[in-house]
Amino acid sequence: MSALRIILVGLGARAQFWMRVIRENPDCTIVGLIDPSEAARARALEQLPEAKASASLSLIGDLEADAVLLATPPGGREAQMEAAVAARLPILAEKPLADSVELAERYVEMAEAAGVPLMVGLNFRYLPVTQEALRLIDETLGPVEFSRFTYERWRDGRLARLNKYPLTMDQPMLWEQSIHHFDLMRYVLRSEPVEIFAKTFNPSWSMYRDDANVSALITFANGAIVNYQGTWQSNWKMPDFQWRSECARGVIVQNDQFGALNYALHDDDALTAVPLPPYEQWIDDAVALLASFVAALRGSAPLQCTGRDHLNSLRMVQACILSAETGQAIRPTDLAAGAMHKTGQASPSHPDAPSQRKSQ
């Protein structure tokens, strides 16, 4: 079977990982490279001299290709989505699909109407630690009733190897980072959120223009409640992560976003570590995600992480923003297309809740 010919759009930080992952996958090859930045194109061409590079999206219609991978910032993808859909090329888009739910809905509808598969790059689902947590729930511990999810990091957004747009975008923590966490919650709990109460804020030392901190209390349709705290501007250079879930027969404790999985049954004196396979961060998860995309395009497996599924995670982001703005709990389902007359008019789930101003 011939290799899947991919056009990579956006040649920044994330694309460096994708170039390696695709190069090492015999089922795939990069035929096109698109980025308005000449320096970014030159750097990519050094690694892939046989590919065609361009500043223009017209390459999408001009090249013989089988798929488009969007590794661009989430804001301003309209023309990219339109070009890929017009060329009838399946799309693998980095998360978040867009920087607004309305735009993401438009993209999903556009792709579905044209019969174009649209997958979102939710690589954390493909980590062995995530798959093992699901297995523990199913086979050992039983369903999660409540959980505490903390992600604390001092993310130096000025580092050369990191993207720069989050420094100035609205709600960078929510759109860029919490979106992964919200997706994981939905995936591992196997349930959809029904109510979110959140506050977002920015500590005095923050290098981000807008809020780098999110605190949220999230209720899921199956009754599970998650207490979430995420920050990109903790005040210690060392990162910390813990996702502890209280299940029917005990607890699951994940102490690292890439691994360190443990569990205990109710009467155990100590946690038991769960063995995980050797693992290269940011690579093996992308390898598995790409394999899943290829399998779907070849018809051997259903498409995972669809754009439509992703809308439910994006609505969690928007619910957090609305909750922080209004001081009220928000039902994410009210944010579905047609459920709201206009953005910001989702009905609060507790109309009598005291009004709180968003703290800056």
Residues near ligand NAD (CB under 6 A) are: 9-15, 34-37, 40, 71-74, 76, 80, 94-95, 121, 123, 163, 165, 176
- Would you say 74 or 193 has its CB closer to ligand NAD? 74
- Would you say 92 or 247 has its CB closer to ligand NAD? 92
End-to-end Cα spacing for the chain: 55
Residues 269, 275, 280: CA angle, nearest 5 degrees: 135
**Helix or strand run (H / E) with residue 197:** strand 193-201
Identify the three-state secondary structure at position 75.
coil
CB of 10 to ligand NAD, least distance (A): 3
- Would you say 35 or 132 has its CB closer to ligand NAD? 35
Selection from 85, 87, 29, 37 nearest residue 63 by Cα = 87
CB of 255 to ligand NAD, least distance (A): 19
Report the distance separating Cα 193 and Cα 333, nearest Å: 8
Compute, in degrees rounded to 10, the torsion defined by CA atoms 79, 83, 86, 92. -100
- Would you say 181 or 331 has its CB closer to ligand NAD? 181
161: its two tokens: 């190897």
Selection from 172, 160, 249, 260 nearest residue 208 by Cα = 172
Identify the three-state secondary structure at position 191.
coil
- Would you say 90 or 121 has its CB closer to ligand NAD? 121
Length of the chain, please? 360
Give, in order, the Cα–Cα distances in Å from 277 to each of 81, 198, 262: 36, 36, 14
CB of 356 to ligand NAD, least distance (A): 29
CB of 184 to ligand NAD, least distance (A): 12
CB of 80 to ligand NAD, least distance (A): 6
- Would you say 121 or 250 has its CB closer to ligand NAD? 121
- Would you say 74 or 348 has its CB closer to ligand NAD? 74
CB of 271 to ligand NAD, least distance (A): 27
- Would you say 152 or 176 has its CB closer to ligand NAD? 176
223: its two tokens: 């009754």
CB of 101 to ligand NAD, least distance (A): 16
CB of 36 to ligand NAD, least distance (A): 5
Q: Which residue is nearest to ligand NAD (CB)?
A: 12
Distance of CA 246 to the CA centre of its chain: 24
DSSP letters for 202-251 = --TT--SSS--EEEEEEEETTS-EEEEEEESB-SSSS-EEEEEEEETTEE
Q: Residue 12: CB partners within 8 Å, gap ≥ 6?
A: 35, 40, 71, 72, 163
CB of 259 to ligand NAD, least distance (A): 15
